[in-house]
């Protein structure tokens, strides 16, 4: 059955539905790990493989999605990906053991890995060049909102129903998406004319798969296992480095590479990928940090942390289309510059938090960041892809999405590690002054001891109790200062990216190309 010709908005709906649920699944299971652990009688370390297995298979498939589209035909590959993702989601919900769940999560990652780059390529080709900013605004709604909404939706479903429904919910949506894409998505003429049966680059595929799988495990497990102090983390790091370095050299010598790295000769594409990697490095890190700060130090419930994040998601939904429209009238490099400055400013504002801030202050900081990310993602995607020919769009989109995801993974690993190290640093510095020989400390301890004695009586060991209170307060203050340090570092990263963006060429105005989907 052939696909029916469809307008750009129908095509947009077709590709964004499966893309959104795929992105949601990268984070929707995070809050359900405790329930899964109890239900399947798994250990705490073992159950985290429910997350890692999906990320690993996802990371391996994303960069080869362009090659798979050439091999199978883009429409066939898209349908196969949606079908596998839907089937494996159902199997995840039915899993009766941790081993089965991990296996099905691997299959789910394989099915979902190609959805982001293929959907982005289809959107870029469906919209004419002067409307690509709007296309990227629509794509950003899934790419940026997915990681924010995933934990909120996952928490609600897990609390009110069962962890199995975070997977079952994909099944009806996946079936609808499968039917819509079957009806309305078709391959453009240039893909249909491609010569079929090109050889499979087995060496390149093997190097990429082993390298990215090893790298993703290192990033996901590194801080938990004390990084290179653990032999397996060190070994996997060496394997990842060797495989990926050899992969680059190998692919540059191939006639039909798995991933065509020659596309980095385009100045705007190369620079845009660097900005995207480090931008998502800083952005994803803050997505992890802010809820941790609110819940661990401020005592917020998961619901209140969601209240802080929620309005930012709504603001992005409103601002993203506006930014997409602005790219048709304003130099996208200027819009990107504004986005970088706003993002840096929001993180700088967070670095000035205190443990006495109110809910409104946290919401305000998050909302400012949401505006910045909207002005960051849309023009950057537009600028990066502005000079990429249609024939290379699948390959370019695959690389772009891979580096975006890797940037997020590196960012999360970086902030969790830096947070732990800076907390230790501040604890050491504070403890230097918590000495019986320090008059200020001795006076504070005595006042607290007397206050405790008035409340619970002199018969208790009030001195030990008072010292414990001061120690807990010290640890809380040290952790808070570590959060401020990390927010500050992320703000500086966004500021540094302001220099790189002017290397990118100004995108063309007007014009058009035949829409192919």
SS3 255: coil
Long-range contacts of the stretch 361-368 (C-beta < 8 A, 24+):
362/290, 362/294, 362/298, 362/308, 363/307, 363/308, 363/311, 363/312, 365/290, 366/290, 366/308, 366/309, 366/311, 366/312, 367/311, 367/312, 367/315, 368/342
Percent of the chain at pLDDT above 90? 16
Which SS3 state, helix, strand or coil, does residue 358 take?
coil
Nearest C-alpha neighbor of 371 from the set 349, 415, 340, 411 = 340
Q: How far apart are CA 484 and CA 353, in angstroms?
A: 7
Region 339-359: mean pLDDT is: 91
User: Rounded to the nearest 10 degrees, how much is the dihedral formed by the CA atoms of 25, 188, 192, 179?
Assistant: 50
The residue ranking higher by pLDDT, 486 or 408, is 486
The rounded distance, in Å, linking the Cα atoms of 503 and 170 is 41
- List for the chain the helix, strand, coil content (%; round to 5): 80, 0, 20
DSSP 134-187: HHHHHHHHHHHHHHHHHHHHHHHHHHHS-TTHHHHTHHHHHHHHHHHHHHH---
Whole-number Cα distances in Å, 421 to 94, 418, 478, 482: 41, 5, 11, 8
Residue 446's pLDDT is: 67
Which of 113-127, 324-338, 461-475 has the least mean pLDDT? Answer: 461-475
Res. 254 pLDDT band, cuts 50 70 90: confident
Structure confidence at residue 64 (pLDDT): 85
CATH 3.90.320.10 fits domain 1-198: no
Residue 517: is its pLDDT beyond 60? no
Cα–Cα distances in angstroms (integers) from residue 130 to residues 179, 213, 257, 335, 361, in the given order = 30, 38, 31, 15, 38
Residue 347: predicted pLDDT: 93
CB 144 within 8 A of CB 316: yes
Q: Which two tokens stand for residue 211?
A: 């390298």
How many whole angstroms separate alpha carbon 281 and alpha carbon 406?
Answer: 8
Average pLDDT of span 3-16: 73
- pLDDT of 338 above 90: yes
| Residue 348 or residue 398, greater confidence | 348
216: confidence class by pLDDT, cuts 50, 70, 90? confident
Output the average pLDDT for the chain.
81
pLDDT score recorded for residue 453: 67
pLDDT band at 28 (very low <50, low <70, confident <90, very high): confident
As a whole number, mean pLDDT of residues 388-410 equals 84
pLDDT of residue 464: 66
Rounded to an integer, what distance in angstroms lies between the CA atom of residue 433 and that of residue 441?
A: 7
Residue 454 has pLDDT above 80, yes or no: no
Q: Is 128 exposed, middle or buried (0-12, 13-18, 19+ CB in 10 A)?
A: middle
Question: In the predicted model, is pLDDT for residue 341 greater than 80?
Answer: yes
* Of 298, 371, 350, nearest in space to 487 by CA: 350
Please list the alpha-helical segments (H only) found in 252-356.
Answer: 267-292, 302-326, 332-350
* Contacts with 323 (C-beta within 8 Å, 6 or more apart), sequence order: 133, 137, 335, 374, 375, 378, 379
Q: Model-level pTM?
A: 0.79
Within its chain, how far is the Cα of 135 from the centroid?
20
* pLDDT at 271 exceeding the cut of 90: yes
Q: Which two tokens stand for residue 90?
A: 């159902």
pLDDT the model gives residue 40: 81
DSSP-derived secondary structure for 11-40: HHHHHHHHHHHHHHTTTTTGGGHHHHHHHT
pLDDT at residue 197 tops 70: no
Q: Mean pLDDT lowest for which of 36-45, 207-216, 238-247, 333-342?
A: 36-45
Q: Exposed (0-12), middle (13-18) or buried (19+): which is 205, by Cβ within 10 Å?
A: middle
Between 26 and 10, the more confident residue is: 10
What gap in Å lies between CA 153 and CA 30, rounded to an integer?
11
Q: What is the pLDDT of residue 514?
A: 38
pLDDT tens digits along 43-90 = 766 777 777 788 788 888 888 888 888 788 888 889 999 999 999 999
Q: Which of 93-107, 155-169, 399-413, 416-430 has the lowest mean pLDDT?
A: 155-169
Task: Give pLDDT, residue 467.
Answer: 63
Name the band, by pLDDT with cuts 50, 70 and 90, for residue 258. Answer: confident
349 pLDDT more than 90: yes
Instruction: Give the pLDDT of residue 87.
Output: 94
27 CB-near residues (< 8 Å, 6+ apart): 146, 147, 150, 151, 154
Local confidence band at 242 (pLDDT 50, 70, 90 cut-offs)? very high
Tokens (6 digits) for 4: 């029916």
Question: Is 429 a residue whose pLDDT tops 60?
Answer: yes
Pick the most confident of 110-119, 399-408, 462-471, 483-492: 483-492
């Amino acid at each position: 059955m052939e696909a029916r010709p469809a307008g750009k908005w129908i095509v947009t709906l077709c590709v964004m539905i499966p893309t959104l649920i795929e992105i949601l699944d990268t984070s929707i299971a995070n809050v359900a790990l405790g329930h899964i652990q109890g239900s399947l009688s798994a250990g705490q370390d073992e159950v985290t493989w429910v997350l890692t297995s999906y990320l690993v298979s996802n990371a391996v498939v994303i960069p080869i999605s362009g090659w798979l589209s050439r091999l199978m035909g883009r429409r066939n590959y898209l349908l196969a990906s949606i079908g596998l993702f839907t089937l494996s989601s159902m199997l995840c919900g039915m899993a009766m053991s941790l081993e089965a769940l991990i296996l099905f999560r691997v299959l789910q990652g394989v099915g979902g890995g190609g959805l982001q780059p293929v959907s982005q390529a289809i959107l870029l080709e469906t919209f004419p060049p002067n409307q690509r900013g709007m296309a990227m605004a629509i794509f950003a709604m899934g790419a940026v909102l997915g990681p924010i909404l995933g934990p909120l939706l996952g928490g609600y479903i897990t609390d009110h129903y069962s962890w199995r429904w975070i997977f079952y919910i994909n099944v009806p949506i996946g079936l609808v998406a499968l039917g819509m894409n079957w009806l309305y998505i078709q391959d453009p003429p240039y893909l249909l004319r491609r010569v079929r049966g090109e050889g499979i680059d087995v060496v390149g595929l093997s190097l990429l798969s082993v390298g990215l799988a090893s790298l993703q495990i290192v990033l996901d497990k590194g801080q938990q296992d004390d990084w290179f102090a653990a032999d397996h983390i060190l070994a996997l790091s060496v394997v990842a480095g060797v495989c990926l370095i050899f992969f680059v050299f190998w692919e540059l010598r191939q006639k039909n590479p798995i991933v065509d790295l020659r596309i980095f000769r385009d100045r705007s594409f190369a620079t845009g990928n660097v900005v995207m990697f480090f931008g998502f490095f800083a952005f994803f890190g803050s997505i992890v940090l802010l809820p941790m700060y609110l819940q661990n130090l401020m005592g917020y419930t998961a619901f209140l942390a969601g209240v802080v994040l929620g309005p930012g998601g709504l603001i992005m939904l409103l601002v993203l289309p506006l930014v997409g429209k602005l790219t048709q009238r304003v130099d996208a490099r200027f819009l990107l510059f504004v986005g970088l400055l706003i993002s840096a400013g929001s993180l700088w504002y967070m670095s000035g938090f205190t443990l006495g801030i109110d809910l409104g202050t946290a919401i305000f900081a998050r909302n400012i960041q949401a505006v910045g990310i909207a002005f960051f993602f849309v023009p950057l995607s537009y600028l990066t892809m502005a000079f990429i020919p249609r024939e290379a769009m699948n390959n370019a989109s695959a690389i772009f999405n891979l580096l975006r995801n890797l940037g997020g993974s590196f960012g999360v690993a970086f902030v969790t590690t830096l947070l732990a190290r800076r907390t230790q640093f501040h604890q050491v510095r504070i403890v230097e002054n918590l000495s019986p020989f320090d008059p200020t400390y001795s006076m504070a301890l005595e006042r607290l001891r007397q206050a405790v004695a008035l409340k619970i009586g002199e018969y208790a060991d009030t001195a030990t109790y008072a010292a414990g209170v001061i120690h807990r307060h010290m640890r809380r203050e040290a952790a808070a200062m570590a959060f401020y340090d990390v927010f500050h570092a992320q703000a500086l990263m966004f500021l540094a990216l302001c220099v790189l963006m002017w290397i990118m060429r100004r995108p063309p105005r007007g014009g058009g190309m035949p829409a192919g989907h």
